[in-house]
Amino acid sequence: MIKWFWIFAGLFILLLVVVSTKAMKKNKSINDFMLAGSSVGAILGILTYAAALFSAFIFIGIPDFFRVHGVGAWIFLAVADGVMFFMMFWFGYHLRKKAREIGYKGVAGMMSVIFKTRWAGIVVFIAAFIFLIPYVAIQIRGISMFFIAIFPNALPHYGWAILIISIMLLYSEIGGLKAIVFSDAIQAILLLVVLSIIGYNSVKYFGNVEDLFNQVKEIDPALLSTPGPKGLFTTQFLIASFIAIILLPLSQPQFSSRIVIMKSMKETYKMAAGIGVVSVVVFISTAFIGMYGAARYSNASTQEFVQNALLFDQPNVVAALAIVGLFAAVLSTSNAQIFALGSEFRSLLEGADEKANFKRTKIALFIFALIVLVTSILIGDELVLLARMSFAGTSMIVPIVLIGVISKRKPGMEIIIFSAISLLVFLLTLFNIIPSVLYNIRVDLGLYILLLIMSLVSVLVRKTHSTEKQSP
């Protein structure tokens, strides 16, 4: 396995060097560096979006989620993602239209322009900063722990984390978003290949799909329905997660920016449809790997399950490819998120000196990476639940982005205040200062309902007000 690992790892690093230098040569302006020249085609678009979405969270987290909580994970992930792909082109159309009208450097800057106050951008940036950092950190931690298990005497946990962040910083600072998009493409292909093979092997081990599920039924029949053996997949949990996931193209800048950098709307349409098709492979494979784990490693820890299912139970070539795939997954997803934070930061900078702002952005990228490194050393191990927390947290600012992009008139300050309060309340629930369930309703779900009502009231009142003003 080690021999194959070095061959694949060598090839992967070589490809990274090639794409970074190629991207560096193609980058003629700051816009090229930060927004990949806004000329990404459909195939590259599908792969970069898939890489940003299907990270270590999918590789490790979701199979484990299926193993521990059962088939409700399909509703949690696949069904929600199905609607998210619809949101991608529907919202994408409006976002691209607005970007053409007022320009685009990042969502935060765009909101400051639309709302005519910097506070809109600041709230959007704070949400992204607070919730993306732990999400990136947990992925780096997860992969570091994984590498320690495979190469016990090579590097300590922080050593792996430093290695991952250094490679990530190196090629993104050299080639910008274009290098990230190319490396995303490599990662997405690797992920698709590895997951399909392991998914297929997981079923083959038991003979067929029916025998696999019969085995799971014998271990714990609660895994075959909701709410699952631990009762996690309650209707409220699934609805709140569904809302958080479908809003990702609006709430997380790495997804919004991937819509804006597409060459044209035609390519964006193809990207939305294409990613829906490609994702089928990912979802079905992770479900089968998870069920394989439920049948064979029901009492194992996450780490033991992942090591066995993805590595030790696989042929050497597949296991080696899986290690490189995991490394690539964490690299590209972390990069997408840290770079998106950098873009958001740049979009908030004032002053006409683009070169000075660009220099500040590069320094900011370095600082964000350092913060991620420190957080990855301090953070806990719940990959999927931390990812979900990140989705839910950033979705609190969706009213700002949605109304900002869609509304034809200037939205009111109250939208910013509602979102900021919701963000704060959600944060307080995470620190147990406010209970996460109040009067039998999950607070995140309650916040979504309140935000929806308040946003509708704001839009309607302002619409009526402006109509009254216009009439003689």
Rule CB under 8 A: which residues touch other proteins? 71-72, 74-75, 78-79, 82-83, 85-86, 89-90, 93, 96-97, 100, 208-214, 217, 221-222, 224-227, 233, 235, 238-239, 242, 264-266, 269-270, 272-273, 276-277, 280, 283-284, 287
Residue with smaller CB distance to other proteins, 82 or 412: 82
DSSP state for residue 412 in the 8-state scheme: P
Q: Are 133 and 386 in contact (CB under 8 A)?
A: no
Q: Nearest approach, Cβ of 207 to other proteins (angstroms)?
A: 10
Q: Are 60 and 327 in contact (CB under 8 A)?
A: no
Residue with smaller CB distance to other proteins, 276 or 412: 276
DSSP state for residue 156 in the 8-state scheme: -
SS3 letters for 299-354? CCCHHHHHHHHHHHCCCHHHHHHHHHHHHHHHHHHHHHHHHHHHHHHHHHCCCCCH
* CB half-sphere exposure, 420, CA atoms < 13 A: 12
DSSP state for residue 58 in the 8-state scheme: I
Residue with smaller CB distance to other proteins, 109 or 228: 228
Strand partners for 40: 262
Which residue carries 């509304």 as its tokens? 407
Q: Nearest approach, Cβ of 265 to other proteins (angstroms)?
A: 4
Q: Rg of the Cα trace of the chain?
A: 22
Which residue carries 């987290």 as its tokens? 61
Q: Nearest approach, Cβ of 108 to other proteins (angstroms)?
A: 24
Q: Nearest approach, Cβ of 111 to other proteins (angstroms)?
A: 22
Residue with smaller CB distance to other proteins, 225 or 436: 225
Cis peptide upstream of residue 227 (ω within 30 degrees of 0): yes
Which residues are within 8 A (CB) of 191 and not within 5 positions of it... i.e. 6 or more apart? 50, 51, 54, 58, 59, 282, 325, 328, 329
Residue with smaller CB distance to other proteins, 225 or 466: 225
Q: Nearest approach, Cβ of 100 to other proteins (angstroms)?
A: 7
Q: Nearest approach, Cβ of 246 to other proteins (angstroms)?
A: 8
Residue with smaller CB distance to other proteins, 100 or 230: 100
Q: Nearest approach, Cβ of 18 to other proteins (angstroms)?
A: 30
What does the alpha-carbon distance between residue 81 and residue 76 come to, in Å, rounded to a whole number?
A: 9
Q: Which class for 116: exposed (0-12), middle (13-18), buried (19 or more C-beta within 10 A)? A: exposed
Residue with smaller CB distance to other proteins, 45 or 142: 45
Residue with smaller CB distance to other proteins, 90 or 312: 90
Q: Nearest approach, Cβ of 124 to other proteins (angstroms)?
A: 25
Assigned token pair, 466: 């402006």
